[in-house]
Amino acid sequence: MKFAEELFPKGTFKGQQSDGAYIDGTMAQNLDIYAKKIVDDMHFMGIVSGSDGVGNGKSTLVQQIGCYLTWKINKLHGTNNTFTHNNIFFNATELTKKSPELPRYSVICLDEGDDLTTHGMKELAVKLKRYFRKCRQLNQIIILILPSFFELPKFYAMSRSHFLINVAFENEYERGFFKFYGPLAKKLLYLKGKKEWDYSAHPKDFEGRFFSSYCFFPDLKHEVELYKHNKYQDMVDDNLEKEESKSLLQHKKDWTIALFKQLYQNIDGITIKKLSLAFGISERTGVRYINEVKVDNSLANSNELGSMKHNINNLIPKGDDVDEGEGLATDNNNDVEPVGSNSIADDLAGQTI
């Protein structure tokens, strides 16, 4: 079906045959429920995943959903919201900081990128829990974009979110296909498929197609340029942050190893076992520190070395009666139901938001 004919006249999108943007009809019927209920002091969250893959159209579909929901909310409730690049965030910190600046009933998207890791999602989950505790009064709809549904912690995958849309390539890497899971189907898919990351573990409620164009309003062309710029900048910033973090960790490790060897060489009667105990590492790691690493000689004359000698001597047990392995750190060294399913209204009425 077509929507927003007044915003997207014929010629707006490549190959467009008539006014308006396209959206799957059954998808629209389900999204209409969120658009209708958002004014009842509600706050909804949806998930769009990509079958553990990248480049299959997740962000494109989310923009179309965000555009449709915003347009529908305006129609139903007389609001005048827009859907622009400002509605899309690339990290949880940005989301929690800037989303309160957007109008009530806005649709916002959190695009965490295609390099999302389970560790990253744990950090994201902590930030989002704080955000959700405070943001209900904003009455917004948030959509999470991530490569895999199964990366999400259980709280968000089963309890907090209201729907899942999984996007996947079809045929010869053809984009534009999705599967929709309402609250119950989403929950059962997570429970049955989590162990093996198996998207066939439970059937979808329905499936459909989406078209291939980005979707913003009021100024589509300008907003697409700004969105692409922000997405590229996020990638650059992310790479810089990773390199800086990697460099800092390596510097810290090098300094620690150098200090370990200097202490070993400058404290009379010290053993690798005692020094390793003081550093909280295994004796084997201590041996590697001594044998494999070149030491920064500037540490030998540093004021810090003298105080470290004193502290180490006070910390470690005297004599050679330290039990093997005692105190050593472990070091291996090595929810709204979809149309066509159960009653949407009944499920919504009993769901905790």
- Domain residue ranges in the chain: 2-218+336-349, 240-315
CATH class of 2-218+336-349: alpha beta
Predicted confidence at residue 65, as pLDDT, reads 97
Cα–Cα distance for residue pair 310/179, rounded to 1 Å = 65
Predicted confidence at residue 226, as pLDDT, reads 94
Cα–Cα distance for residue pair 214/226, rounded to 1 Å = 12
Predicted confidence at residue 214, as pLDDT, reads 95
Predicted confidence at residue 114, as pLDDT, reads 43
Predicted confidence at residue 314, as pLDDT, reads 54
Query: What residue ranges of the chain have pLDDT lower than 50?
Result: 113-117, 293, 295-297, 300, 315-337, 341-353
